[in-house]
Amino acid sequence: MQGSSSLKRKRPDGVASLESLTKEEHALYNVIRSRKDMGIWSKDLKQETNLPDTVVKRALTSLQQKKLVKEVVNCHNKAKKHYMASEFEPSKEITGGDWYSDGNLDTEFIGVVKKVCLRHILAQNVATLDGILEWIKKGKFFSVDLSSHQIEQILRALVLDDEIVEMKSTGFGDFSSVPVGRVCYRCKKKNKGEPKIGAMASIPCGVCPRISACTPEGIISPKTCVYYQKWLDF
């Protein structure tokens, strides 16, 4: 069985030992470290430790100089000072998530990812989330690995931007490579000047070769159509 010492985090070089801390510094450090990757506001520190403002400021400066504590940017309120133990990295709740850099929304990077996704959807006519992600990984378009969740966020944004439409595959025509019922995406305009794809475009009737013979009470009818029923089920 491993000893408890083997489970301790290794301190980076240059970090002061806890024995060198004053009583006030110890109190502040223990509170900050207990918050782990969430950190704590300086105002909350004062309330929890019940130390005078001047003492807190001096102790925080000392802790930063000793590399035990760092100041981090909280995207929810950049004006407030937020502190965290140096051994932790800020959580997504603090940084704002995958699309933030130094507390700021990285709109330029988001714009590039949007264009790459649009290019693939346009080229394929119909594309799925998994297909887009696989294409991006194979193409090595970015120096960072994008997750399925990130691409899903981009696709949701493109839908809201009215750039693409989300629909479920019918298994017919352009959807023949996508299993029936699978969520997929299509550009609203394949080429400049081409009319937008309506929300009803995914109905199998639109690509059915027997549509001219289909009537409500006939042999070929929406009531007995297997494909139409599958579409309704999804």
pLDDT, one tens digit per residue, over 128-138 is 999 999 999 88
Quick check: 150 pLDDT over 80? yes
Output the pLDDT for position 232: 52
Report strand pairing: 100-101 vs 104-105: antiparallel
Phi and psi angles of residue 41, each rounded to the nearest 5 degrees, phi first = -70, 150
- Tokens of residue 131, six digits: 């297909």
Q: Cα 204–125–160 angle (5° rounding)?
A: 90
Q: Which of 197, 202, 211, 200 lies closest to 183 in space, CA to CA?
A: 202
Report pLDDT for 198.
Answer: 44
**How far, in Å, CA of 141 to CA of 176, rounded?**
28
Contacts of 119 (CB under 8 A, 6+ apart): none
Span 107-202: which CATH code? 1.10.10.10
pLDDT in tens, 192-226: 444 444 444 445 565 455 666 666 666 676 667 76
Tokens 């909280």 belong to which residue?
74
Mean pLDDT throughout 50-66? 90
Tokens of 101: 């850099």
Distances 149 to 19, 106, 130, 156 between C-alpha atoms, Å: 44, 17, 11, 10
CATH 1.10.10.10 domain position(s) in the chain: 9-96, 107-202
Q: Residue 7: its pLDDT value, please?
A: 32
Instruction: Select from 101, 114, 102 the least CA-distant residue to 150.
Output: 114
Instruction: List alpha helices for 8-142, DSSP H.
Output: 23-34, 42-49, 53-65, 92-95, 107-124, 129-139
**pLDDT band of 234, cuts 50, 70, 90:** very low
pLDDT of residue 176: 84
Determine the Cα–Cα distance for residues 233 and 161; give it in Å rounded to an integer.
28
Q: What is the pLDDT of residue 227?
A: 58
Q: Is the domain defined by 9-96 classed in CATH 3.40.1280.10?
A: no
What pLDDT does residue 90 have?
Answer: 80
pLDDT by residue (tens digit) across 68-105?
999 887 776 777 888 989 888 887 777 766 676 666 67
